[in-house]
Structure 1
Amino acid sequence: MDLQQPEWTPQTSQLGEIPTVQERFQAVLKRRLQIQIQNHPPLFPWETQIQEYPDYVDNPSVALVPTWGWGRGASLTLPIDLPERVFQQLLARCQELVASSLPLGAKLVAAVESLFPNDEQAINDLAGLVLRTPYRSASTIEAMPNLDGDYFDLQSRQQMAVSLLAAKQLFDNLTLPVSATNPFVQREWLTDVGAIKLHVEYVQYGAEAKLCVRADLPTIGNIKVGNASTTAMAQSSSSGNLSVEILCVSPRQPYTLEVKLTEIDQQPLTFLILPTM
Structure 2
Amino acid sequence: MKGGKDRTFTGIAAAAVTTVLAVVVAGQVATDRSGEIGSQASGEERGAQQRPDRSEGRPTPPQAAKPPAAPPTYQQLMTRQFPIDPELKASGEFVAVPGFDKAPGKGRKVSYRIDVEKGLGLDAGLFARAVQETLNDDRSWAHGGAMTFERISSGEAEFVITLASPGTTAVWCAKSGLDTTVDNVSCDSASTERVMINAFRWAQGAETYGDDAMLAYRQMLINHEVGHRLGYNHVNCATRGALAPVMQQQTKTLEVGGIKCRANPWVHPGD
Report the TM-score when normalising by structure 2: 0.21
Larger radius of gyration: 2
Greater per-residue strand proportion: 1
More helix by share: 2
Normalising by the residue count of structure 1, what TM-score does the alignment of the two structures yield?
0.21
